[in-house]
């Protein structure tokens, strides 16, 4: 499928970096040109994003990664989600979990993920890898449009917040002004020199425990670890799709694909294809809220969910002519996240997503560190009947997910992802179908019109019902929108590129050449060497 694009795909042999912020892309490319691996470049990119996009991710946040080792044809899932602190039980909250402040945070998992990635892929030292981020924090970088808009948007919502003073940021910042974050530079230098112990056992940990009045304990931090395990994998057409295991809701993406595989998506009308995919989305999300929690605390039988009998049963629930307008009401999720991918000269690649959950996370900074905490604790439920019920040491259900696709011989074919909270698994569903069924190249895929099916809140419990809204970018033809309305969908138009995603995509040709695409809905790009 060919369509006009704003930019051409990036073709490269020696490596690729694609991210939502140009300085982060440059940092990743710098590490690759110095002989670093994809893992080294990914850590550098991750760290720079924490400096230049603090509203979306930070050292006090989480990360999820899908990696591909080309020589061993081995795929891994890195689950860098943090646990609830020892103080976090349901009786500590009245009607809802605090949205801001240290009582809204889980133990940060990003820094531990850096070091697990380094164990698996590291070639350069951590002081080399973190040098670009330290430089941007210590000596400054020029604020871009997105940076200034995020600050203004957060202040509009929370005019009394003190988070920017704690981060050392000027709330009157203008585009092009120099941003310096000395406390954050000190923290990054300590981590580069002392390792992850500086964060989880050293001065940073002590400052967090003291400032949180013991809400966090030294034990909470010392016992945290990033889990490294096989990804969830399912066969879709001629490919294996690898996604994030629980507590990530990556299970939704794989269930959507298994349901969709029963339909000839390449040879039906665009309206029918969107309809079928939206209906598959509804079914998968319903299963998510019935089943998903921390697998170390509850039993989740995904083999049964992904079985042919289960998928056939769910597929039979789809009416080809009529939308299902009734489904369980679900919670809103944070949307401030960043996604990037990196590949190196040896064919190794990482699909990486990191977040502080809502914009500027907990809106609370560990004093004297420049480190912003997540507010991921709000991802728990206070309903004792929920599989995602809050408990000390438990990880909340996560929207964060990343994916890759390999060929029958085990070699890498595609990799991609996007931020966007509950939109993530819907967007990734479309990306995979576009790549495999519709044969779009990565840039066409990144720019293609997208839809998102969202909730119109209609109840306070999982038993109450509501009608969803199907939002579609207005580049989708009016005839397609009308056909969807006739099937019963409540269709709302978005602006031409108004979808809530910021996609980065990679394809690997049989000869090893990389093709990358980057979403014009964000300020980043793809680059290669």
Tell me the three-class secondary structure of 198-249, residue by residue. HHHCCHHHHHHHHHCCCCCCHHHHHCCCCEEECCEEEEECCEEEEECCCCEC
From 106, 337, 369, 406, active-site residue? 337
* Dihedral-angle region of residue 124 (phi above 0 means left; psi in -120 to 50 means alpha; beta otherwise): beta
Local structure of 288: helix, strand or coil:
helix
Please choose, from the candidates 258, 251, 255, 256, the residue with its C-alpha nearest in 3D space to the C-alpha of residue 237. Answer: 258
Between the CA of residue 144 and those of 55, 198, 307, what are the distances in Å? 13, 31, 48
Between the CA of residue 38 and those of 105, 120, 410, what are the distances in Å? 30, 11, 18
- Name residue, tokens 């000390």: 392
Q: Reduced to 3 DSSP states, what percent helix, strand and coil does the chain have, rounded to the nearest 5?
A: 35, 20, 45
Whether a cis peptide bond, with omega within 30° of 0, leads into 247 is yes
Between the CA of residue 262 and those of 311, 471, 480, what are the distances in Å? 9, 25, 22
Buried b (16+ CB within 10 A) or exposed e, 111-142: bbbbbbbbebbbbbebebbbbbbbbbbbebbe
What's the CA gap between 358 and 336, in Å, rounded? 5
Local structure of 183: helix, strand or coil:
helix
Instruction: Show the tokens assigned to 71.
Output: 């020589």
Give the H or E element holding residue 176: none
337 is catalytic: yes
Instruction: Show the tokens assigned to 112.
Output: 């531990």
Instruction: Show the tokens assigned to 314.
Output: 């769910």
Contacts of 380 (CB under 8 A, 6+ apart): 84, 88, 97, 388, 389, 390, 394, 396, 397
First CA to last CA across the chain, in angstroms? 27
Please choose, from the candidates 282, 275, 238, the residue with its C-alpha nearest in 3D space to the C-alpha of residue 256. Answer: 282
- Name residue, tokens 């629980």: 246
Buried b (16+ CB within 10 A) or exposed e, 390-418: bbebbbbbbbbbbbbbbeeeeebbbbbbb
Residues carrying an active site annotation? 337
């Amino acid at each position: 499928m060919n369509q006009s694009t704003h930019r051409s795909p990036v073709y490269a042999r020696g490596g690729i970096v694609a991210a939502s912020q140009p300085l982060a892309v440059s940092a990743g490319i710098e590490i690759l040109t110095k002989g670093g691996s994809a893992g080294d470049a990914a850590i550098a990119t991750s760290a720079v994003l924490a400096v230049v996009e603090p509203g979306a991710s930070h050292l006090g946040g989480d990360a999820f990664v899908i990696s591909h080792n080309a020589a061993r044809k081995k795929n891994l899932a890195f689950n860098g989600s943090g646990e609830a602190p020892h103080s976090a039980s349901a009786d500590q909250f009245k009607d809802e979990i605090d949205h801001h402040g240290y009582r809204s945070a889980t133990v940060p998992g990003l820094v531990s993920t850096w070091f697990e990635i380094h164990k698996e892929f590291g070639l350069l030292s951590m002081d080399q890898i973190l040098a670009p981020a330290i430089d941007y924090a210590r000596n400054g970088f020029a604020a871009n449009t997105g940076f200034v808009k995020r600050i203004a948007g957060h202040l509009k919502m929370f005019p009394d917040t003190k988070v920017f003073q704690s981060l050392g940021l000027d709330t009157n910042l203008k585009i092009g002004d120099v941003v310096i974050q000395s406390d954050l530079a000190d923290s990054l230098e300590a981590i580069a020199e002392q390792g992850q112990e500086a964060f989880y056992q050293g001065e940073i940990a002590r400052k967090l425990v003291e400032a949180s009045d013991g809400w966090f304990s030294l034990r909470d931090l010392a016992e945290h670890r990033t889990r490294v395990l096989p990804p969830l994998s399912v066969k879709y057409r001629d490919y294996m799709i690898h996604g994030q295991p629980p507590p990530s809701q990556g299970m939704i993406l794989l269930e959507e694909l298994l349901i969709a595989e029963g339909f000839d998506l390449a040879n039906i009308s665009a309206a029918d294809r969107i309809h079928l995919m939206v209906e598959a989305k509804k079914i998968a999300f319903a299963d998510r809220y019935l089943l998903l929690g921390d697998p170390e605390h509850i039993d989740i039988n995904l083999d049964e969910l992904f079985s042919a009998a289960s998928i056939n049963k769910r597929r039979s629930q789809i009416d080809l002519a009529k939308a299902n307008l009734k489904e369980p009401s679900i919670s809103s999720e944070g949307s401030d996240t960043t996604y990037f991918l990196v590949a190196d000269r040896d064919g190794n690649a990482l699909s990486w997503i990191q977040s502080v959950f809502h914009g500027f996370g907990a809106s609370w900074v560990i004093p004297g560190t420049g480190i912003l905490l997540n507010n991921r604790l709000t991802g728990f439920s206070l309903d004792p009947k929920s599989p995602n019920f809050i408990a000390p040491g438990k990880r909340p259900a996560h929207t964060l997910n990343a994916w890759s696709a390999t060929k029958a011989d085990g070699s890498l074919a595609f990799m991609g992802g996007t931020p966007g909270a509950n939109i993530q698994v819907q967007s990734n569903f479309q990306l995979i179908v576009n790549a495999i069924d519709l044969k779009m190249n990565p840039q066409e895929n990144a720019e293609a019109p997208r839809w998102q099916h969202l909730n119109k809140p209609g109840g306070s419990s999982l038993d109450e019902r509501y009608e969803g809204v199907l939002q579609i970018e207005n580049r989708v033809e009016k005839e397609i929108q009308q056909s969807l309305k006739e099937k019963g969908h409540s269709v709302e138009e978005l602006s031409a590129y108004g979808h809530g995603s910021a996609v980065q995509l990679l394809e690997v040709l049989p000869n090893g050449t990389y093709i990358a695409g980057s979403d014009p809905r964000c300020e980043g790009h793809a680059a290669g060497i």
